[in-house]
Structure 1
Amino acid sequence: MFNKSVIVCAVALLMSANVWAEPDYLKSPVIPEPLRDGESIDEPDINIIQKQDRTIQEYRVNGKLYMIKVIPTIGRPYFLMDTDGDGSLETTQHELDSGLLVPNWILLEW
């Protein structure tokens, strides 16, 4: 019914359609407006809580808790993050998700 070369050309044409599609990462990033005189960048407020076996650093921006860094006396520091931006740390990502959120360790630094 169809010639093999016609089928091969049609398949090649369909597979090459994505070549001309513009990927999102090629679009120019949104550049924020420069700061005006007297404006400052919101830097996090860091509350340090000293315990016997660890030091806890709470990071807040505009009063919202977004990260906790736990520095144990023995072992590497780890981080607990606010994943949904509501200002409170959860132990699960969603009510329907059964997976626990585990602490995050830094694996590589440079």
Structure 2
Amino acid sequence: MRRLLSVFLLLASSAWAQPADVQPLPAVPPPPPGMEAFDAALEPQVTIVKQERETREEFRIKGKLYMVKVTPAVGKPYYLVDRQGDGNFIEADVAPNPVRPPMWIIHSW
């Protein structure tokens, strides 16, 4: 058993050894001019409305309301989501694995 353990340790240590000709990775070049790392227009605006019985958090992008988080005074919070962009809000599923295809806005005018 000891012989097997010593052989295993010898093989493991040789596998972790680095070769002598290892070179460091080159530095990452800076982004091209005109490219911004942060675009404030893509960040959602959050408006918090506190009332006696609930707190609503309204999420907007470019001024358009797309999601509302409702936190009642008693109970679990829930989300209302405008999935189609037509102003009809439905309650978001909280199931463990709901099937949702990705829906990205490719172009709008």
* TM-score, scaled to structure 2: 0.48
Bigger radius of gyration, 1 or 2?
2
TM-score w.r.t. length of structure 1? 0.48
